[in-house]
Each structure stands twice: as C-alpha cells, then as structure tokens.
Structure 1
Amino acid sequence: MFENTLDLAENKLLLLYIFKKIKVPLSNNKITQIILENNFINYFILQQYIHELINSQFIKYANPDTDHKMVITKKGVKVLNLFENMISKDKIQKIDDYFKSQIENIKEDISVSSSYTEENKNSFIVDLIAAKDKSTLMNIKVNIGSKKEAIELCEKWKNNSQSIYYEILHLLLQK
C-alpha cells in the first residue's frame, strides 16, 4: 500500500515536472503521447491523474473558452518545488532527454491546432489555428459538408500547416 502511494505521488509529480519543463500549454493528446512514448503510466491511470491534478488546482486549462490545453498553476509549481526530489533521477533524465530530442516537434504541434464541430446534420465548422508565442498568426473557420472532409482538413492542417500558412499569406498579399 505504501509503495502504491509513493508511485502515485511520484507519477503526479512527474506530470507537474513535464508541464513546468515544457513552459507552454499542452493538450491532453500531447501529454498522453509524451507519457506513453516513455512508458511511465498507462493511459487510464494517466487520465485519472490529470483529472485529479485539475481538481486539486495544480494544473488548469490555459484558456478554457477557446481550447483545452493545460498549464501548471502557481500552486502546482510550489508543490513540485517542495517534492521534486521524490521523482526518480532516471525518470527525470528520461524526460529531459526526450525533450532535447523532441522539443521542435512538441512546439510545432503546440502552435498548430485544428478542430471541428457539427453545425447540423450536413454541416461542420472546421477551425484551423496557427499560433506563435501565444499570438494567433492565423485563424480560419470553414464550413464543410461532411465529417470525413472535416477530419481530412484537420489532418492536412496538422501535417502541412506551415506550407499552407505561407501559401495563404502569399495568395492574400498578391496584387
């Protein structure tokens, strides 16, 4: 029982460490990817921990009205500073190494988002956003006729946002 309590505490502290280390809002998908790629916690327990950290106000949604990316709170930083030594050095090293090798991919994913909502049976609103350093570079809302097309558009934006952004900018600036 005591060992399970220590594991629980260490895993929650590890999540706080990741949020503090990355210094930008993370989506649930991105934090899940980081945790699962490093085999730290299984998916279901991770989701429970995230929920508990939000309820404890150690992490929060950066802008709950517009997106669902999370950040560490001042309270979370304070707790992490007090108990960071409870995280194994191996796990910290593994996360630090992961960030060194993946930081550009993580930041690129963070600065681009896409989502869709169903307007009515045959109409979906696709929202495509490109942001840099908390500033919106481009926000496009498009009405699409099918869920399949909405999903495809979101994927294309995610995979090619930089080139699409520059193409749109070029087209708009042409005389």
Structure 2
Amino acid sequence: HYAEICSTHTYADRMNTLKNVRSAGLELCSGGIIGMGQSHRDLVAMAMDLRELQVESIPLNFLHAIEGTPLEKQADLTPQDCLRALCMMRFVNPSSELRIAGGREKHLRSLQPLSLYVANSIFVGDYLTTKGQPPESDYQMITDLGFEITKTSE
C-alpha cells in the first residue's frame, strides 16, 4: 500500500534509510499514519518491520482527511479501530515508546483516555495541518487518569 501513497521513494528505501541511521549510531523515531486505506495486514507488517529495526520511538497519527487533498474522501476511523491499532503496535513493540499524535481527537473522541493506557505519550497542541485540542484539556485528561505529566526541555 505504501507505493499508492508515496511516490518519491519506496518502502525499501525507507527501511534502508532507517538501517543507515541505526548504523550511524542514532536512535530511531519512525511510525505511520493509520487510516490511509492500508489493510490490517499492512499495519501488522509495519509493526513487525519497526520491531525488527528495534525502533525506540513510534509516533502514530490517525489520518485527518482534509478537503482538497487526494485522501479527502477516505473514511473516518472508529475509536475502536484506533485502539486496536494502538494495542497491536504495543503488543508487537513492547519496549518502544509509543506516541499518539495527529488525528487522535477526531478519531478516538471520548475514548482518548483509554489510549494512554497503551501509549507512553501524546503530542500536545496543534499539528502540522490541523488544530489539536487545548493543551489544558490534555493535561486534565492525563491527571484525571492519575498519570504524571513530564515536559521536554526546549
């Protein structure tokens, strides 16, 4: 399915880039966008590839289709679809930092708090092309669950 979405390089090119980054001694951060039309088998294959490469950080986005883009008519994910994808990724990559990013508010909706039992972190604030929920709402959700908020240094 990768070739249907990306025309500038192949999936093999992407894997080779990650291998080269690893061989240079750097940690890996690589994930994907769920809901771009890929099959369950495609998602599992991605999870297995990330495990094989021992990717330290896996950000997962959920497609937020935007009018005027090639995927504007892509069907929305259900909250259950999102949670299943997150759980599968965690099961396959138990030692990786699983990070929930764009589209979580739109697709997880009221089930967002459940995702934090699976993932290590969420991206807070706005994203590249869409607005996120106010950071205060995220902080409240995190503290309501009894989790500790940590901030990265700037």
Q: Identify the TM-score tier after normalising by the shorter chain.
A: under 0.3
With structure 2 as the length reference, what TM-score do the two structures score?
Answer: 0.26
TM-score by length of 1: 0.24
Question: Would you tell me which structure has more strand in proportion to its own residues?
Answer: 1
Q: Which has the larger radius of gyration?
A: 1
Bigger helix share: 1
